[in-house]
Amino acid sequence: MPPLSQLVFLLPLSHAFFRFSITQSSIVANAELHETFKNCELIADVKTKQKNWRENAVLRERSKAVPFLGAMDGEKRADELNMDHIYIRYIDFLWGYIFIGPCSYFLWLKGTFILRARQSLIKHGLLKYKECESIEHLVGTFCLELSQVINYFAKTKTDSEIGNVAGFFFPDFPYVDNDMNYKVADLFAVDIDLDTKKFVKAKLDDMDLTAMQAAILLYFNGISAQHVKLHAMANWGINDHQSLKELNPFLRQNSVVTAIYNYFGYSTFSGFLKTWEKQGLLSEGWSEKSPLIKVFNHGIRDGIGQHGNILDLMPHSRFVNFIVKTRAIFMAQFALHKHLFPGIDGEVRTVP
């Protein structure tokens, strides 16, 4: 069995970052399968969209990994993201089970206990749900101020009759239907007014959605297919090699924590579903049909499409504005200290 250094750093992440044209083609091809998108102004913009950014050679050089034990030469590539592929020593695995497992389990017990207590209080009229002031604004927040902003791909022209509207497109969108079946829609599209930052309309293939329905799908996607990508990417930003005990023991320990926590979150998470069904926190069918794990796998396989066009949203999104400005600062600091993080790319990215 290869050690972590040989398994991970000979296979740096790349294919998770699909080229701009592939994402663009997927959106257009899937839209053409449904009549409802035929006269969509934003789809028309997707068809003619060009990359509005260019690679920054300085940032690329700053983020480039320091070679580690002959690995990370920039030539080998990983085919896709993965949350449970890293081999660690048994002693580290045992340490994780002793010091990470019980704490994680306690947080799980605490969270579900509070949730069940709230449900009981609401049922007996002792507590009320906090009403959302505006579902339309909530949908706008989901799209503009969370990681799902990477699905932005088009914007209306200045003189458009429908106003200043941005289109967020999710091709091959995974979800779970009312019968607990795993489904994949060809295209989930959400339009947001950039002036009011509110929901305008949404479609799931040929179905028109309300703001509430769009909010449910966006929320579910955020905690399932989207969320696991962040955990999976972390596996390409760690190094638990024994030699790091001298160079950077904190990095090594955190690498072990990351690998084990991702293992808990992916490989053992499904074991909780049956318990939650018995507690009334989940409907029957989640554990038997395993639709959630299928959505997890879908998100991991899809990876993360190139999304440089989100620069368009800097005036409209605090999140994008912060990340874009912070990225250059982070890379400058990483370049100064990356000798302490051998074998790790600053952006977990090696795509040419």
Look at residue 346 and tell me if it is in a domain: no
Kindly state whether residue 198 falls inside one of the protein's structural domains: yes
User: Which pLDDT value is given to residue 304?
Assistant: 84
Tell me if 348 is assigned to some domain. no
- Residue 350 in any domain: the answer is no
pLDDT digits (tens, 9 = 90+) for 99-151: 998 988 899 899 999 999 998 999 898 988 888 889 999 999 999 999 999 99
**Would 345 be classed as within a structural domain?**
no
**Domain for residue 91, yes or no?**
yes
What's the structural domain count of the chain? 1
Strand arrangement, sheet containing 207-209:
152-155, 165-176, 182-193, 198-204, 207-209
Is the residue at 222 inside a domain?
yes
What's the pTM? Answer: 0.87
Q: What is the pLDDT of residues 79-110, one digit of tens each?
A: 678 888 888 899 999 999 899 989 888 998 99
The boundaries of the domain holding residue 300 are 4-340
pLDDT number for residue 4: 36
Residue 42 belongs to some domain of the structure: yes
Amino acid present at 20: F
Low pLDDT (below 50) residues in the chain = 1-17, 74, 350-352
> How would you label 130-153 residue by residue, b for 16+ Cβ within 10 Å and e otherwise?
eeeeebbebbbbbbbbeebbbbbb
How much is the pLDDT for 53? 60
